[in-house]
Structure 1
Amino acid sequence: MATSRPKIPSELRRRVLIEAGHRCAIPTCKSTPVEIAHITPWAKTQKHEFKNLIALCPTCHTRFDDPHGPIDRKAMRQYKANLTPLLTISLANRNGQANMLAAYQELRGRFAEWLPAQVEHAAIKSRRSSSREKIKRSKSDAVDKLAWAIGAVADFQSAWGESEVSDLAGAIFYHVADWRDEVESAPSPLPTELKRRDILEEISEASTDLHLMVCEELSM
């Protein structure tokens, strides 16, 4: 016999509805009325969590549940992340929350500077037409931004302490850093396999997970 599914607690349901403004969370829809949907199916999680719940109109909910439909889980997680822009959060510094938020904002900002510079350097090093001087300049720019990113990761982990959030931030950084080391150690032009890697795509799901975890922690 299938395990009965408990109702979503009223306060949790209220938080999800307020987050989406009592409208469908898909920005091009915004319809009412709405239902509460699980981003990762209930059958897999067996629990109700704020980070895994999203408000959807019945039509978008049906489209999302359709395995052959146009809305996949990755897209839905991004819609969820977009509902909570951290720059608008007002926090008292209770339990260090303001410092935790500031560290996350700094981390995002430094990664937003470093990653494009690192990707651009890899692209330049991939081209046969790139001169040594051009490769050298792009490497120098990426290295400068990497130094700031390393500092931001250290500050983030200091602010968040030993936690799943801190561990995930470190894992994302080291995944990119390992790719960066492969790019630096490879000859120019880069080998085809390395040239085809999309590092931003590789970290996209983990980055969304990190954002949702930060939102969940700071809303508690």
Structure 2
Amino acid sequence: MGAKRPKVPSDLRRRVLIEAGHRCAIPTCRSTPVEIAHIVPWAKVRTHEFKNLIALCPTCHARFDDPHGAIDRTAMRQYKANLNPLLIAASVGMPEQIGLLAAYQEFRMRFSSWITSELEHAAMKRKRRSSPEVVEEIRLKSIDCFAWALGATLDFQRVWENYDASGLAGAIFFHVAEWSDELAESPLPLPKIIARRDIMEEISEASSELHLAVCEAVGF
């Protein structure tokens, strides 16, 4: 079965390596040399796609492939999403690309702060001994982060209105907003059906698609 697996096309391999700067995509590693790894295993997807490929050093690749290892698929998708497309040097003389990328960076930053705050809110509400006062304090912080994320999302959609990325960003935002509302309206402690939701897993594929759409739109 393994002998029938085709090689990653050279142009696709090059894109994945450039995305990671020809170093391991895990920021605390950044070692060389690197290999091209599938986030969702080849045996399951049977295809090579940019959104599902990531550059890893042999050690991190082996750790990721270990089913009992510390690096799981959700973490690897986050590492993929964290690869920063803001290669400003490549955008010299192309102000429209700089504007697109600046809006994307702002969206990523504000959205990340919001979802981190909401995850903290969810973690606190899972605990039976959490005080209502502490939970409310975290909820208010999340509301502030939501306001910033909403503004960044609207700005992103305005700047990217002629691209597919606009709709993707909106879909991700509203999916998390739905979860956020459900979280805020739930009693303390959280019901199991809500506590078991993995919002990062739920948005991981769409986030990868958004990242790919941005990279393709600006020619990276």
Q: For residues 56 and 189 of structure 1, what CA distance do their matches in structure 2 show?
A: 39
Matches within 5 A, 1:204-215: 204-215=204-215
Query: Does the CA-based 8 Å contact 1:183-1:194 persist in structure 2?
Result: yes
Q: For residues 87 and 192 of structure 1, what CA distance do their matches in structure 2 show?
A: 40
Name the % identity: 54
Greater Cα shift, 140-149 or 92-101: 92-101
2:126 maps to 1:133 = no
In structure 2, relative to structure 1, the CA distance for the partners of 1:30 and 1:188 (3 Å cut) is: same
Q: Which residue of the partner structure matches residue 89 of structure 1?
A: 88
Q: For residues 173 and 95 of structure 2, what CA distance do their matches in structure 1 show?
A: 26
Q: For residues 204 and 136 of structure 1, what CA distance do their matches in structure 2 show?
A: 28
Matches within 5 A, 1:1-220: 30-31=32-33, 84-90=83-89, 91-92=91-92, 94=94, 96-219=96-219
Superposition deviation, residue 157 in structure 1 = 0.4
| Gap regions ≥5 residues in structure 1 | none
Q: For residues 24 and 151 of structure 2, what CA distance do their matches in structure 1 show?
A: 39
Q: For residues 88 and 128 of structure 2, what CA distance do their matches in structure 1 show?
A: 47
Superposition deviation, residue 23 in structure 1 = 7.9
Q: For residues 93 and 156 of structure 1, what CA distance do their matches in structure 2 show?
A: 21
Superposition deviation, residue 209 in structure 1 = 2.0
| Gap regions ≥5 residues in structure 2 | 1-5
Structure 1 residue identity aligned to 2:108: R
Query: Does the CA-based 8 Å contact 2:88-2:98 persist in structure 1?
Result: no
- In the TM superposition, what whole-angstrom CA distance separates every residue of 1:6-51 from its partner, at most 9, and x where no partner exists? xx68x7776566556678889787448x8x899897xx899x9766
In structure 2, relative to structure 1, the CA distance for the partners of 1:16 and 1:114 (3 Å cut) is: closer
Query: Does the CA-based 8 Å contact 2:80-2:208 persist in structure 1?
Result: no
Superposition deviation, residue 130 in structure 1 = 1.9
Residue correspondences, number: 212
- In the TM superposition, what whole-angstrom CA distance separates every residue of 1:157-187 from its partner, at most 9, and x where no partner exists? 0110142211111111111000111112222
Q: For residues 127 and 39 of structure 2, what CA distance do their matches in structure 1 show?
A: 41
Structure 1 residue identity aligned to 2:217: E
In structure 2, relative to structure 1, the CA distance for the partners of 1:76 and 1:131 (3 Å cut) is: closer
Q: For residues 72 and 132 of structure 1, what CA distance do their matches in structure 2 show?
A: 33
Q: For residues 171 and 204 of structure 2, what CA distance do their matches in structure 1 show?
A: 13
Q: For residues 24 and 128 of structure 1, what CA distance do their matches in structure 2 show?
A: 40
Query: Does the CA-based 8 Å contact 1:51-1:216 persist in structure 2?
Result: no
Superposition deviation, residue 219 in structure 1 = 1.9
